[in-house]
Amino acid sequence: MKKLLAILLTTLALAGVAQAETLRIGTEGAYPPFNQIGPDGKVFGFDIDIANALCDAMQVECVFVTQDWDGIIPGLLARKYDAIVASMSITEERKQAVAFTGRYYSNSLRYAAKKGSGFSVDDLKGKAIGAQRATISAQYLEDNLADTVSIKLYDTQENAYLDLSTGRLDAMLADTYVNYNWLQSEAGQAFEFVGDPININDEIGIAVRKEDAALVERLNQAIEQIRADGTYANINAKYFPFDIY
Amino acid sequence: MNFQAILDSLPKLLSGTVLTLELVGVSLLIGLLLALPMALMRVSRRPLVRMLPYGYIFFFRGTPLLVQIFMIYYGASQFEWIRESALWPILREPYWCAIIAFALNTGAYTAEILRGAIQAVPRGEIEAARAIGMSLPLAYRRIILPQAVRIGLPAYGNEIILMIKGSALASTITLLDLTGMARTLIARNYLPVEMFLTAGLIYLAMTLVLTQLFGALERRLGRHLRPHTG
Amino acid sequence: MFELQGFGDQILLGALMTLQLAAGAVAVGLVLGLLGASAKLSRSRLARAAAGLYTTVVRGVPELIIVLLIYFGTAGMLTALAGTFGHQGYVELSPYAAGVTALGITFGSYATEVFRGAMLAIPRGQIEAAQAFGMGRWLTFHRIVLPQVWRIALPGLGNLFLVLLKDTALVSLIGLEELMRKSSIAIGFTKEPFTFYLLAAIIYLGMTVVTMAGIHFAERWANRGLERSRT
């Protein structure tokens, strides 16, 4: 009881201390190479680098808060953080709950399956396809293939890959670059892309509460700035040999 | 509170409820089939026979259901020889992994409930049965087990409720039971409070119905023990 | 098979957090249980109804749902509440606090019944004698009733604690880094789920055994000086 009270009071106290211009950024921390948690417990990745660059451009301090993907938008709405930089796609559905900046990279979805398994996008009937819950991959599967395939949704991308590598799934539908990253890893050696990228007009943006229109403006300007002065290109090159904007 | 979203979510939540009831029903059945022989072993006069099921019972009562589910679902897939064996088509499916985990879990608890109930049957009745020449199996069938069922009913009713609540963990291995449906819906409508409250109410409805049913069953089976009126 | 790849300390840290979580929850739960039992035995119909609602609802809903509901639900409520006191910014319930609250509420609902049974088992004569002496309600409660309630309720509470220890695993699902969560993290690196979940199971079994021993000794101590009827 005392510990609960102490935690509550401490959080209240800390939150009450007015920081000069700190921006709290919400991210997942389980989505390599965009955001993941290292052995030191800190988040790192493409999203983190971009967020830091944007904060520099806006001359504010960035503080990162990790949140499980399922609760990342509810967390924003509950004011746990002020912006979500976690490879979130801009969708009409999400726009009903939050506001988005312009894009900071482009995305598409692609299937990954075992080499030589004969999996083909023309013959999906009855196959077990996995995706992370609450992502646009999950949405795509639910909206288009609900009657054709057996959709398996996972809490984390990691658990989904675990089932893919042991053969519980026939294929995985996920963001192209996330799949690309996994296919390069040791676990993904026996797997490959199947089929062309789908959902190719997907834009990744930063989610912000609807009432924070000023923040959207500042973030958009910052995005333009880091695109113009080469910072973006540097970060891009660090992770991918191709341009992902 | 977004009531429209709650109404819209009902069809999916109810279909999830059907899976929940299915998981619970099948697991309880298998669990009972496992529990009976184990309970009989646990009341045996021979210490070796008594100890036999103890390891299993101790493990499944002493560890969280979540660990048991994950061990079976994710753990089984770790081993090459399981993936290549004839077991794989079964263990591959989250549905069967959940059933196996639930059945083994409830089997252990039910075995202990049954054991306690059998041991609570009045000694005198068993002695009398043997004295008039009933064989042990016959004594079990006519005297011991019917009474054990009556004695163990409250505890077993409680176990069924615990199983219904435990079934919510099936959502952690991709199954779309009531809880799984709720979490899937939240992923689209961002209304965790509305969805979990609704799911919670549906679970509550199930447990209340069960409590009433068991209360009635207990009264009926025990009516010879209560003072008659008139 | 037990190639832990350096995750040993992480697992132990997780086990420690599990114990901290259980300790926090039991503290909350005992308080709620005592309050609930007193309410159920009170003369006020409102108190009895409220306590009845509490135990019926909480015992009929899966612990997982309660954990998720409190974790997601309280953030918005607390922030709004703090807002009315003029506090800007975010007030959150950390996974630890949410876990303690949810598990404490669950423990409390079952403990209410245990305490109620224990309170009813205290011979009325003792309470009447205390009142005849002129002891007030509160004095009677904490000098006569409470000490005996602990003794009678101990087995039941012990069982509830064993259940609580296992329920802590659920809090891993809202990100608290207790034993289950640490195991999942280790599995993310090592890709050996069976190894780490088996290890976690063994640790839980260890905690169970130690707790059962602890309860046994606590019962022996609580019943010191008491003549138990021999059958």
Q: What is the ipTM of this complex?
A: 0.86
Q: Are B20 and B164 in contact (CB under 8 A)?
A: yes
What is the overall mean pLDDT for chain B? 90
Which letter, b or e, does each residue of B177-186 get, where b requires 16 or more Cβ atoms within 10 Å of its Cβ? Answer: bbbbbbbbbb
Tell me the pLDDT band of B186, cut-offs 50, 70 and 90.
Answer: confident
CB under 8 A, 24+ apart: contacts of A182-186: A182/A32, A182/A112, A183/A112
pLDDT value for C81 = 67
pTM (global) more than 0.90: no
Return the bridge partners of A128, or none. Answer: A150
The closest alpha carbon to B195, from B9, B68, B4, belongs to B9
Cα–Cα distance, A5 to C2 (Å, whole number): 40
Which letter, b or e, does each residue of B128-148 get, where b requires 16 or more Cβ atoms within 10 Å of its Cβ? Answer: ebeeeebeeeebbeebbbebb
Per the document, the length of chain C is: 231
Q: What's the CATH architecture for A2-106+202-239?
A: 3-Layer(aba) Sandwich (3.40)
Pick from C79, C100, C173: CB nearest A79: C79
Residue B168: its chain C contacts at CB < 8 A? 62, 64-65
Kindly give the pairing relationship between strand A61-66 and strand A99-114: unpaired
> Does residue A80 sit at the B interface (CB-CB below 8 Å)?
no
| Most C CBs within 10 Å, among B2, B61, B66, B80, to test the C interface | B66
Residues of C with CB under 8 A from a CB of A: 24, 27-28, 31, 71-72, 75-76, 79, 82, 87, 89-94, 96-97, 100-101, 173-175, 187-188, 191, 193
Containing A84, the helix (H) or strand (E) segment is strand A83-89
Contact A166 B183 (CB under 8 A): no
Residue C29 has pLDDT above 50, yes or no: yes
Residue C93: its chain A contacts at CB < 8 A? 8
Cα–Cα distance, A219 to A225 (Å, whole number): 10
Tell me the pLDDT band of A18, cut-offs 50, 70 and 90.
Answer: very low
The predicted model gives C122-147 an average pLDDT of: 87
pLDDT value for A17 = 42
Tell me the pLDDT band of B88, cut-offs 50, 70 and 90.
Answer: confident
Q: What percent of chain B has pLDDT over 70?
A: 99
CA distances from C222 to A241, C33, C49, C150, C215 (A): 71, 19, 32, 8, 10
Pick from C57, C65, C194: CB nearest B199: C65
Contact A134 B188 (CB under 8 A): yes
Residue C101: its chain A contacts at CB < 8 A? 4
Of the options 3.20.20.370, 3.60.20.10, 3.30.565.10, 3.40.190.10, the CATH number for the domain spanning A108-201: 3.40.190.10
Do A2-106+202-239 and A108-201 agree at the fold level?
A: yes
Which letter, b or e, does each residue of C193-204 get, where b requires 16 or more Cβ atoms within 10 Å of its Cβ? Answer: bbbbbbbbbebb
Per the document, the length of chain B is: 230
Pick from A2, A7, A79: CB nearest C90: A79
Cα–Cα distance, C136 to C87 (Å, whole number): 42
> Does residue A194 sit at the B interface (CB-CB below 8 Å)?
no
Cα–Cα distance, A161 to A165 (Å, whole number): 6
pLDDT value for A20 = 56
For chain B, give every domain's residue range: 3-221
Q: How far is B230 from chain C (nearest CA, A)?
A: 31
Q: Are B26 and B99 in contact (CB under 8 A)?
A: yes
Residue A80 has pLDDT above 90, yes or no: no
For chain A, give every domain's residue range: 2-106+202-239, 108-201
Tell me the pLDDT band of B75, cut-offs 50, 70 and 90.
Answer: confident
| Most A CBs within 10 Å, among C7, C90, C170, C185, to test the A interface | C90
Cα–Cα distance, C231 to C229 (Å, whole number): 6
Cα–Cα distance, A175 to A185 (Å, whole number): 16
The predicted model gives C8-12 an average pLDDT of: 83
Residue C72: its chain A contacts at CB < 8 A? 71, 74
Contact A168 B78 (CB under 8 A): no
The predicted model gives C41-57 an average pLDDT of: 91
Residue B58: its chain C contacts at CB < 8 A? 205
What is the overall mean pLDDT for chain C? 85
Cα–Cα distance, A184 to A198 (Å, whole number): 21
Residue C22 has pLDDT above 90, yes or no: yes
Dihedral angle of Cα A146, A151, A154, A158, to the nearest 10 degrees: -120
Residue C229 has pLDDT above 60, yes or no: no
Residue A228 CA, distance from chain mean position: 24
What is the topology classification, in CATH, of domain C20-177? MetI-like fold (1.10.3720)
Which letter, b or e, does each residue of A18-44 get, where b requires 16 or more Cβ atoms within 10 Å of its Cβ? Answer: eeeeebbbbbbbbbbbbbbbeeeeebb
Residue A68: its chain C contacts at CB < 8 A? 174-175
CA distances from C93 to A10, A244, C49 (A): 11, 37, 29
Tell me the pLDDT band of A112, cut-offs 50, 70 and 90.
Answer: very high
pLDDT value for C119 = 87
Q: Which two tokens stand for residue B204?
A: 């509550």
End-to-end CA distance of chain C: 50
Residue B188: its chain A contacts at CB < 8 A? 93, 134, 139
Cα–Cα distance, B42 to B38 (Å, whole number): 6
Residue A2 has pLDDT above 70, yes or no: no
The predicted model gives A154-174 an average pLDDT of: 88
Tens digit of pLDDT for each residue in A39-64?
Answer: 666 788 999 999 999 999 999 999 99
Residue C90 CA, distance from chain mean position: 28
Cα–Cα distance, C150 to A50 (Å, whole number): 58
The predicted model gives A115-139 an average pLDDT of: 87
CB atoms within 10 A of CB B96: 16
Q: How far is B86 from chain A (nearest CA, A)?
A: 14
Q: How far is B123 from chain A (nearest CA, A)?
A: 48
Residues of B with CB under 8 A from a CB of A: 74, 77-78, 83, 88, 92, 94, 172, 174, 183-184, 186-188, 190, 192
Residue C89: its chain A contacts at CB < 8 A? 15-16, 79
Cα–Cα distance, B70 to B73 (Å, whole number): 5
Residue of B nearest to C74 (CA): B193
Tell me the pLDDT band of C1, cut-offs 50, 70 and 90.
Answer: very low
> Does residue C66 sit at the B interface (CB-CB below 8 Å)?
yes
Tell me the pLDDT band of A83, cut-offs 50, 70 and 90.
Answer: very high
Q: What is the largest CA-CA distance in chain C?
A: 69
Task: Please name the residue ranges forming H helices in B43-53.
Answer: 47-51
Pick from A74, A93, A163: CB nearest B188: A93
CATH code for residues B3-221: 1.10.3720.10
